[in-house]
């Protein structure tokens, strides 16, 4: 098998710590290593370096080479620009097929936190066996521990005998409301969608030709001139493009600890070190402050008498946001970008 680390996102929900020039996968959010380095080393424990690839945007190639010493140029798959995970996965699959290589590959995001990964090899080995079947897609499902509204969910067929811990997927559920997430936790056969998938390149080709031929044909016919056509490809996630429409989708319930470090709340969940449920980073002094996330770079910071806030100050900007409004950070940044284009 191969592992392909997806490292092309801009991490806007972590602004102003994560910015376009250096997004979160290249930052040390959890410990001394960056998220990309942690992800790479997680798989390099049992996969040789030549089996690990990184797909990223053209603008981040230099950061990848700076942080991963073992990576060769032919192991970096370059997107001319970011078009979401649908075109990204299609580009990756076609890259392998151009070399007559149809070995299963796992697509893994660069920003997941998996501190105890001893069981990964076993799970990935089972996934590889299933992915070798024609047109089979394998996902890793995580048993929910809380009513999380920021994750997608997987509903499996309940009345089935698992085959080597492999379950058939009935449906995918988009990020639910809190009420719906609470109901999902009471249902059997429901898992968080980890965003980790395994399949053969020919499987990706089959479903892309079936559901989104406009993406596959453009890539295939313009392989030597991707810069001119890539911006015209539809921005679509691989979940919408393939997974929610494919026929043979399976999930393997996985017991390892997993967290999608996708926003400030995730960082808060993993880094609460102060009294009163505060997570802080920097030279920060608190008084009568509860349940806050506070990061301050290069300056002494005093926070008094507030609660449930995200306060982040870096050289790139200042964020003050109520925790309940965190999902709107991306929306506001998009509005700023759009205004600059006018």
Round to whole Å and give the CA distance between 292 and 104. Answer: 43
Distance separating the N- and C-terminal Cα atoms of the chain: 47
Angstrom distance (rounded) from CA 215 to CA 212: 6
Decide if 57 contacts 64 (C-beta within 8 A).
Answer: no
The mean pLDDT of the chain is: 92
d(CA 167, CA 164): 9
Q: For residue 342, what pLDDT band results from cuts at 50, 70 and 90?
A: very low
Most confident of 20-34, 80-94, 328-342: 80-94
Question: What is the structure's pLDDT at 337?
Answer: 82
Task: Identify the pLDDT of residue 255.
Answer: 83
Coil, strand or helix at 106: strand
State the residue for tokens 């509005």.
Answer: 335
Say what the pLDDT of residue 167 is: 94
Looking at residue 45, what is its pLDDT? 93
* 8 Å CB contact between 228 and 195: no
In Å, how far are 143, 190, 270, 284, 309 from 64, measured between CA atoms? 32, 35, 25, 32, 33
Tokens of 15: 């602004």
* Confidence at 48, pLDDT banded by 50, 70, 90: very high
Cis peptide before 16 (omega within 30 of 0): yes
Q: What pLDDT score was predicted for residue 158?
A: 79
Would the pLDDT of 14 be above 50? yes
Q: Is the pTM of this model over 0.85?
A: yes
Q: What percentage of the chain carries pLDDT values higher than 90?
A: 78
Asked whether the predicted pLDDT for residue 153 surpasses 80, the reply is yes
Specify the pairing of strand 248-254 against strand 190-199: unpaired
Question: In the chain, pLDDT over 70 holds for what percent of residues?
Answer: 98
Task: From 233, 243, 199, 240, select the one nearest 92 (Cα to Cα).
Answer: 199
CB within 8 Å of 124: residues ≥ 6 apart: 1, 106, 198
Residues 249 and 334: their CA atoms lie apart, in Å, by 34
Distance of alpha carbon 90 from alpha carbon 227, whole angstroms: 15
* pLDDT tens-digit series, residues 67-95: 999 899 999 999 999 999 999 999 999 99
Burial category of 323 from C-beta neighbours within 10 Å (exposed 0-12, middle 13-18, buried 19 and up):
middle
* pLDDT, tens digit (0-9, with 9 covering 90-100), for 87-140: 999 999 999 999 999 999 999 999 999 987 778 899 999 999 999 999 999 999
- Mean pLDDT confidence for 168-173: 94
pLDDT tens figures, 241-288? 999 999 999 999 988 889 988 889 888 888 867 678 899 999 999 999
């Amino acid at each position: 098998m191969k592992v392909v680390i997806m490292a092309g996102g801009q991490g806007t929900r972590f602004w102003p710590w994560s910015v376009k020039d250096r997004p979160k996968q290249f930052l040390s959010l959890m410990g001394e290593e960056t998220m990309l380095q942690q992800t790479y080393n997680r798989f390099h424990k049992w996969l040789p370096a030549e089996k690990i690839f990184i797909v990223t945007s053209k603008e981040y190639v230099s950061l990848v080479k700076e942080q991963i010493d073992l990576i060769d140029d032919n192991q970096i798959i370059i997107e001319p620009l970011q078009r979401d995970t649908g075109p990204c996965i299609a580009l990756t699959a076609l890259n392998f097929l151009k070399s007559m290589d149809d070995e299963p590959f796992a697509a893994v995001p660069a920003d997941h936190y998996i501190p105890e990964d001893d069981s990964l090899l076993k799970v990935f080995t089972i996934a590889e066996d299933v992915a070798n079947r024609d047109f089979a897609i394998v996902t890793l499902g995580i048993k929910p521990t809380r009513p999380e509204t920021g994750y997608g969910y997987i509903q499996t067929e309940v009345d089935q005998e698992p085959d080597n811990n492999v379950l058939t997927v009935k449906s995918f559920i988009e990020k639910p409301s809190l009420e719906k997430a609470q109901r999902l936790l009471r249902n059997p056969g429901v898992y968080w969608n980890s965003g980790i998938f395994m399949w053969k390149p020919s499987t990706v080709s089959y479903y892309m030709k079936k559901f989104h031929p406009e993406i596959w044909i453009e890539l295939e016919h313009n392989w030597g001139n991707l810069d001119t056509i890539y911006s015209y490809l539809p921005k679509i996630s691989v979940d919408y493009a393939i997974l929610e429409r494919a026929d043979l989708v399976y999930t393997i319930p996985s017991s390892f600890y997993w967290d999608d470090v996708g926003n400030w709340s995730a960082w808060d969940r993993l880094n609460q070190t102060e009294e009163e449920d505060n997570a802080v980073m920097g030279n920060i002094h608190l008084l009568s402050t509860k349940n806050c996330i506070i990061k301050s770079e290069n300056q002494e910071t005093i926070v008094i008498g507030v609660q449930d806030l995200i306060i982040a100050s870096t050289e790139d900007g200042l964020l003050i946001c109520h925790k309940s409004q965190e999902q709107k950070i991306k929306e506001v940044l998009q509005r700023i970008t759009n205004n600059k284009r006018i």
